[in-house]
Amino acid sequence: MKTHWQILVVDDEEVMCESLAAWLREDGYQVDTAASGREAVEKARERDYAIYFVDLKMPGGMDGIETMMQVRRLHPDASIIIITAYATVDTAITAMKEGAQEYIVKPCNPEEISLLVNRIIKVKNLQRENTILRKKLSRQYSFHDVISKNSKMRDVLRLAQEISGLRSTVLIQGESGTGKEMVARAIHQAGDRAAKPFVAVSCAALAETLLESELFGHEKGAFTGASQQKPGKFEMADGGTIFLDEIGDISSKLQVDLLRVLQERCFYRVGGSEEVRIDCRVIAATHVNLQEAVAAGTFRDDLFYRLNVIQIRIPPLRDRREDIPLLARHFLERLSHELGKEVGDLSEGALQVLIDYNWPGNVRELENALERAIVTCRGRELTEENFSFLVENSRGPRRLEIPAGMSLAEMEKLLIVETLQRANGNIKESAAILGIDRSTLYEKIKKYEIPR
């Protein structure tokens, strides 16, 4: 259908403008005209035209190239055809470099212009169809922003949907970067607590005392610097959901406090004597195997059972490679918009690199890889070259670069970080590679504040 597409013809010569507009109207398009670059930009502000025919030489301080650049800032997807009576290689190169889709010299053959417009409209129709299909597909495979077509992951999302209306505690297990918080948010959003707060706390990020105050709040004067009463995350999440990330990393004391909250739904602020009652759903997450931690004596079994009422296990990205294209396109669409880049597609080669890569950092690593590739991309399509850093990452054992002047402690930290990455965050495997026992590794991770 042609009538959906609107065209703007921009030329200071009225006869040129009107005759091309009339010719295009006879072809069934809705055509507007503008007598100057400024008028064109004003019209582009009001309406999104599919094609702009812009004369290169226009008076009034805004020529065709400047007009094109301003229009493209408003509508990055607009197709701009530069028209000129003075054909030079330089102007053609400039026009194309600045983003003109085509460059025609007037007078031009009617067949040429007709083919050109038809080709652009055909691509626009396909792009629109593609966008609609992608949206449909994304709706089909998504549950509150969690996207997957993997059968295990679909089971996870089905379970998340089923339990969203309950108050039962949920334990989400999965490697770092698999999207545990996303699933927790989805459960919150799908349930009847959606209008109430969702409060996320990373238990690994804070020292024990700070975490205690963060979770339960404190009274005025509870400790040095506590100049006024402060509510904790549990109070902030009242009526909603509290998400406790990296629950496997909390201290024995906090494990006891948390157990009490889960059992009695009440607690005391740090330095307080007044009991605070709360109604919030607890969703905990961990990338460590809590059953192993219980067996090793580092995690309380009673707390584990309290948390493990409903268990959700998120498979790593390498076990659901069919999601990689879906996720990559989702991130591409979002990130290119956020980063203000006009990167709209992924080449087949690039997609293959992404599918073949092992993704130790899971979906988060995929998102970061897309961001890095988009930032460094100079065209409109991401190709294999834009992901060359992934290929380098996946080749054999990496050499550690140890700059001169590094302390022994810094070197140890670097080695632990690299080993954890290679072992996909698996503590048992990392400890074995490093030749130390797991509790020593845990201590060092804590000591060096290594995020996992």
Q: Which positions touch other proteins (CB under 8 A)?
A: 13, 15-16, 18-20, 22-23, 25-28, 83, 106-111, 113-114
| Residue 112 beta carbon to other proteins: minimum distance, rounded to whole angstroms | 8
| Residue 47 beta carbon to other proteins: minimum distance, rounded to whole angstroms | 20
Question: Strand 281-286 relative to strand 241-245: parallel, antiparallel, unpaired?
Answer: parallel
Distance (Å) of CA 354 to CA 128, 232, 245: 26, 41, 28
Residue (23 or 448) nearer to other proteins, CB: 23
| Residue 118 beta carbon to other proteins: minimum distance, rounded to whole angstroms | 9
Residue (40 or 350) nearer to other proteins, CB: 40
Question: Strand 6-10 relative to strand 30-34: parallel, antiparallel, unpaired?
Answer: parallel
| Residue 202 beta carbon to other proteins: minimum distance, rounded to whole angstroms | 59
How far, in Å, CA of 46 to CA of 106, rounded? Answer: 28
| Residue 26 beta carbon to other proteins: minimum distance, rounded to whole angstroms | 6
| Residue 355 beta carbon to other proteins: minimum distance, rounded to whole angstroms | 40
Residue carrying structure tokens 């048992």: 428
| Residue 88 beta carbon to other proteins: minimum distance, rounded to whole angstroms | 19
CB < 8 Å & 24+ apart, contacts of 19-24: 20/53, 23/110, 24/117
Element (H, E) at 410: helix 408-422
| Residue 85 beta carbon to other proteins: minimum distance, rounded to whole angstroms | 9
Element (H, E) at 283: strand 281-286
How far, in Å, CA of 104 to CA of 106, rounded? Answer: 6
Residue (105 or 415) nearer to other proteins, CB: 105
How far, in Å, CA of 441 to CA of 416, rounded? Answer: 8
Write out the two tokens for 314: 């998120």
Residue (18 or 345) nearer to other proteins, CB: 18
Residue (38 or 106) nearer to other proteins, CB: 106
Please count the other Cβ atoms lying within 10 Å of the Cβ belonging to residue 292: 14
Element (H, E) at 183: helix 180-190
Element (H, E) at 324: helix 323-338
* Half-sphere exposure at residue 147, Cβ-oriented, CA atoms within 13 angstroms: 20
Amino acid at 185: R
Residue (103 or 267) nearer to other proteins, CB: 103
Residue (82 or 390) nearer to other proteins, CB: 82
Residue (84 or 419) nearer to other proteins, CB: 84
